[in-house]
């Protein structure tokens, strides 16, 4: 009897639990999840979840193979399964830096949750191991210079640089040897580009990746170190703050027009190391793989180039900076080339073999500044509309001018007139191009003009990633605008405005003083015939002056606005100040005059 009661209770509880987790309820989710999966996910992840969909071979990293139960982005320990929330987060937000997009705005919540349930059916581990426990994460302490400095020391002492490089650009000694568990090459994360971090860009995200590791990749977990008291949780936060500090505060915004400021004195620089570059505005230009013309390239190494431009009225200079894990050709990366080529083929245009290849970068313009938006085809033009290019290569180091009528039809025009200077330092190339605004060869070479937007595009190849010819990174057309020399009138006009304003002010005050004198009993006005006319004249003069000042204020405001939009922030600012002063003066004049009238002439 004593056994029966607990048994009934146990039986009922078990029955209730069984119903809660019954195949009926789960089954509906699985069925819905399968429908959604087959419509939106199977092209990449494969119908059996093995990461082998028809598009998979064009992707590095490959789509997730769900059959292994191996997930990079988790809140659980190394080797443990992800929680449902972990899987949902990746579905919602995607994996930055990969081809996996976020689905939060594309699919209803119920569908995304059903997907989680369905994805878990691909691996037996979800059934055999049960729900995992998330790690206990501490809250982020605020950042400080001390924390960042401590984190830097820790970064060095635990040798993060072995893979991520001394400056965090992913160019460590081991970077060329890294593969994931599926035998595909893996790039050590470039820590200066946190917007490409798979698991998110915040300091909390970075801390979590340090705690959990990125399973299936070479990135290990550091939780064991904390558990074994080899480091404290606080030290790990310092490290996370340091890593976060390597990237800019905000992900760079893409701006359509690259402004080439005019150097105030002297000439534009001829070297990448010139100090004048330090103050020059830097424009972020994203690049993507060339996937239009065969052989296409789906694994571009260079994902962006930062562009700075300066001119001095007779020459223009560009400094281009981009992260590149090696100075190609580097023999240490030859094996890597083989892995990349193996992973990215079946090949288009025949077999491609690993061999020493240089890094290259090309800047492209139309041969003449086009009317309106009528630009040559961005992929190096065509036979009807050629393009004009500056081409640089790291081996042998040098540059030339070229004209192109398509990706595979490029003719050199020699190096005359083009200055180039390049340096590779700690995972980053910097390249300078300089040319006179007037062309050497006006028939096929662009004549730069000041003050008009000139189309510009960029191409990059990482030789150690096997890139050359059509297999590289490209941008679409952007514009470069050489800042107009500020006309002297720009600086004279405020002075004239000030003098005029001051003059009118003096007139008004003197007018008012005269009025006061005339209004006095026995004053001058009594002596004049029609003495009442003088105050009226003074009042209307006050209104006229006020109106003129208001007009001047409006003009100054217009100047200020055009200054801001043209990128002349200093002019915009000072015209703004003048406009404000004029507006105040006008208001005082108008209000003062009006109040004076109501009070009537003083007795």
**Cβ atoms of residues 190 and 168 within 8 Å:** yes
In the complex, what is the shortest distance from the CB of residue 154 to other proteins, in angstroms, rounded to a whole number?
Answer: 9
> Which two tokens mark 446?
């662009």
**Cβ atoms of residues 123 and 66 within 8 Å:** yes
Name which of 80 and 421 has its Cβ closer to other proteins: 80
| The binder of other proteins chosen from 59, 87, 163, 582 (CB under 8 A) | 163
- Look at strands 257-262 and 304-311 and give their pairing: parallel
Please tell me the distance from the alpha carbon of residue 188 to that of residue 112, in angstroms, as a whole number.
Answer: 30
Is residue 225 near other proteins by the rule CB under 8 A? yes
474-505 per-residue burial string, b: 16 or more CB within 10 A, e: under 16: bbebbebbbbeeeeeeeeebbeebeeebeebe
Name which of 173 and 449 has its Cβ closer to other proteins: 173
| The binder of other proteins chosen from 143, 177, 262, 271 (CB under 8 A) | 177
- Look at strands 360-365 and 387-394 and give their pairing: antiparallel
| The binder of other proteins chosen from 66, 222, 237, 461 (CB under 8 A) | 222
Give the count of alpha carbons within 13 A of 375, CB side only.
18
In the complex, what is the shortest distance from the CB of residue 447 to other proteins, in angstroms, rounded to a whole number?
Answer: 51
Return the H-helix or E-strand segment holding 516: helix 488-519
Query: Comparing C-alpha atoms, which of 174, 450, 479, 168 is closest to residue 307?
Result: 479
Is residue 570 near other proteins by the rule CB under 8 A? no
Please tell me the distance from the alpha carbon of residue 48 to that of residue 364, in angstroms, as a whole number.
Answer: 45
Name which of 104 and 330 has its Cβ closer to other proteins: 330
Name which of 146 and 342 has its Cβ closer to other proteins: 342
Is residue 70 near other proteins by the rule CB under 8 A? yes
Please tell me the distance from the alpha carbon of residue 70 to that of residue 81, in angstroms, as a whole number.
Answer: 7
Name which of 128 and 599 has its Cβ closer to other proteins: 128
Q: How many CB atoms lie within 10 A of CB 384?
A: 8
**Cβ atoms of residues 178 and 186 within 8 Å:** yes
In the complex, what is the shortest distance from the CB of residue 33 to other proteins, in angstroms, rounded to a whole number?
Answer: 18
Name which of 210 and 363 has its Cβ closer to other proteins: 210
**Which residues does 443 contact at the CB level (< 8 Å), separation at least 6?**
none
Please tell me the distance from the alpha carbon of residue 521 to that of residue 109, in angstroms, as a whole number.
Answer: 87
In the complex, what is the shortest distance from the CB of residue 473 to other proteins, in angstroms, rounded to a whole number?
Answer: 26
Query: Comparing C-alpha atoms, which of 301, 288, 201 is closest to residue 248?
Result: 201
| The binder of other proteins chosen from 77, 329, 472, 572 (CB under 8 A) | 77
Is residue 68 near other proteins by the rule CB under 8 A? yes
Is residue 11 near other proteins by the rule CB under 8 A? yes
Return the H-helix or E-strand segment holding 116: helix 109-119
Q: Which of these ranges, 226-234, 473-481, 508-516, 585-593, lies near other proteins under the rule CB under 8 A?
A: 226-234
Is residue 182 near other proteins by the rule CB under 8 A? yes
Q: Which of these ranges, 78-86, 107-115, 360-368, 471-479, lies near other proteins under the rule CB under 8 A?
A: 78-86
Partners of 461 in the β-ladder? 360
Q: Cα separations (Å) of 468 from 55, 118, 208, 390, 395?
A: 23, 42, 38, 16, 13
| The binder of other proteins chosen from 144, 146, 230, 279 (CB under 8 A) | 230
Is residue 234 near other proteins by the rule CB under 8 A? no
In the complex, what is the shortest distance from the CB of residue 85 to other proteins, in angstroms, rounded to a whole number?
Answer: 18
In the complex, what is the shortest distance from the CB of residue 79 to other proteins, in angstroms, rounded to a whole number?
Answer: 4
Residue 94, Ramachandran bin (φ over 0: left; ψ between -120 and 50: alpha; else beta):
left
In the complex, what is the shortest distance from the CB of residue 175 to other proteins, in angstroms, rounded to a whole number?
Answer: 10
**Residue in this structure with the two tokens 């003048």, named with its chain if needed:** 578
In the complex, what is the shortest distance from the CB of residue 246 to other proteins, in angstroms, rounded to a whole number?
Answer: 19
Is residue 313 near other proteins by the rule CB under 8 A? no
**Cβ atoms of residues 196 and 190 within 8 Å:** yes
Name which of 219 and 512 has its Cβ closer to other proteins: 219
Q: Which of these ranges, 15-23, 90-98, 420-428, 535-543, lies near other proteins under the rule CB under 8 A?
A: 15-23
In the complex, what is the shortest distance from the CB of residue 46 to other proteins, in angstroms, rounded to a whole number?
Answer: 14
In the complex, what is the shortest distance from the CB of residue 89 to other proteins, in angstroms, rounded to a whole number?
Answer: 21
Q: How many residues bind other proteins (CB under 8 A)?
A: 54
Is residue 25 near other proteins by the rule CB under 8 A? no
Name which of 138 and 144 has its Cβ closer to other proteins: 138
For the segment 192-211, give every residue that binds other proteins (CB under 8 A): none
13 burial via Cβ count (<10 Å: 0-12, 13-18, 19+): exposed
Name which of 156 and 485 has its Cβ closer to other proteins: 156
Is residue 354 near other proteins by the rule CB under 8 A? no
Name which of 68 and 202 has its Cβ closer to other proteins: 68
Is residue 337 near other proteins by the rule CB under 8 A? no
| The binder of other proteins chosen from 192, 217, 394, 525 (CB under 8 A) | 217
For the segment 106-145, give every residue that binds other proteins (CB under 8 A): 125, 127-131
**Which residues does 251 contact at the CB level (< 8 Å), separation at least 6?**
194, 195, 201
**Cβ atoms of residues 231 and 225 within 8 Å:** yes
> Which two tokens mark 104?
């939060």
Query: Comparing C-alpha atoms, which of 538, 511, 534, 532 is closest to residue 594?
Result: 538
Is residue 159 near other proteins by the rule CB under 8 A? yes
Name the site residues for other proteins (rule: CB under 8 A).
3, 7, 10-11, 14-15, 17-18, 21-23, 68-70, 77-81, 125, 127-131, 157-159, 162-163, 173-174, 177-179, 181-183, 213-225, 227-228, 230
């Amino acid at each position: 009897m004593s056994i029966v009661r607990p048994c009934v209770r146990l039986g009922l509880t078990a029955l209730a639990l069984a119903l809660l987790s019954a195949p009926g309820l789960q089954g509906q989710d699985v069925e819905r999840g399968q429908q959604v999966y087959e419509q939106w996910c199977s092209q990449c992840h494969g119908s059996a979840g093995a990461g082998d969909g028809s598009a998979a071979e064009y992707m590095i990293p490959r789509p997730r193979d769900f059959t292994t139960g191996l997930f990079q982005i988790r809140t659980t320990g190394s080797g443990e399964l992800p929680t449902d929330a972990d899987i949902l987060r990746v579905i919602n937000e995607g994996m930055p830096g990969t081809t996996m997009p976020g689905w939060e705005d594309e699919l209803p919540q119920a569908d995304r949750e059903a997907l989680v349930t369905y994805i878990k059916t691909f691996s037996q581990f979800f059934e055999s191991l049960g729900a995992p426990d998330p790690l206990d994460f501490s809250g982020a302490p605020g950042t400080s210079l001390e924390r960042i400095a401590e984190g830097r020391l820790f970064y060095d002492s635990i040798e993060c640089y072995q893979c991520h490089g001394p400056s965090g650009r992913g160019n460590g000694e081991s970077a060329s040897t890294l593969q994931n568990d599926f035998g595909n090459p893996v790039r050590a994360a470039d820590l200066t580009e946190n917007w490409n971090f798979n698991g998110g860009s915040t300091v909390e995200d970075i801390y979590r990746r340090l705690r959990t590791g990125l399973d299936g990749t070479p990135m290990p977990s550091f939780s064991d170190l904390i558990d074994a008291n080899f480091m404290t949780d606080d030290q790990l936060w310092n490290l996370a703050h340091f890593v976060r500090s390597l990237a800019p505060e905000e992900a760079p915004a893409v701006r359509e027009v690259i402004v080439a400021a005019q150097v105030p004195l002297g000439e534009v620089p001829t070297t990448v190391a010139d100090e004048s570059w330090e103050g020059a505005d830097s424009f972020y230009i994203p690049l993507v793989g060339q996937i239009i013309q065969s052989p296409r390239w789906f694994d571009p190494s260079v994902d962006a180039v930062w562009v700075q431009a300066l001119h001095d009225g007779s020459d223009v200079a560009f400094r281009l900076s981009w992260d590149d894990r090696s100075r190609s050709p580097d023999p240490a990366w030859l094996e890597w080339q083989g892995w990349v080529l193996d992973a990215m083929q079946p090949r288009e245009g025949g077999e491609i073999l690993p061999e020493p290849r240089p890094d290259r970068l090309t800047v492209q313009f139309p041969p003449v500044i086009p009317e309106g938006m009528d630009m040559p085809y961005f992929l190096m033009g065509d036979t009807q509309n050629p393009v004009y290019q500056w081409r640089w290569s790291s081996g042998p180091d040098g540059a030339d001018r070229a004209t192109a009528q398509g990706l595979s039809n490029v003719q050199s025009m020699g190096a005359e007139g083009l200055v180039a200077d390049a340096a590779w330092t700690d995972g980053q190339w910097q390249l300078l191009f300089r040319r006179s605004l007037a062309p050497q060869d006006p028939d096929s070479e662009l004549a730069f003009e000041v003050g008009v937007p000139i189309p510009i595009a960029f191409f990059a190849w990482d030789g150690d990633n096997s890139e050359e010819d059509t297999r590289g990174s490209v941008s679409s057309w952007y514009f470069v605008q050489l800042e107009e020399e500020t006309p002297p009138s720009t600086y004279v006009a405020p002075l004239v405005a000030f003098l005029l304003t001051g003059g009118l002010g003096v007139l008004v005050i003197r007018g008012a003083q005269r009025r006061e004198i005339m209004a006095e009993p026995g004053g001058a006005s009594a002596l004049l015939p029609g003495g009442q006319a003088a105050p009226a004249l003074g009042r209307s003069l006050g209104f006229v002056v006020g109106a003129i000042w208001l007009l001047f204020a409006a003009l100054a405001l217009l100047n200020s606005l055009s200054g801001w939009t043209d990128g002349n922030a200093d002019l915009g600012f000072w015209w703004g100040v003048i406009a404000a002063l004029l507006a105040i003066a006008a208001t005082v004049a108008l209000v003062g005059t009006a109040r004076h009238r109501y009070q009537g002439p003083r007795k």
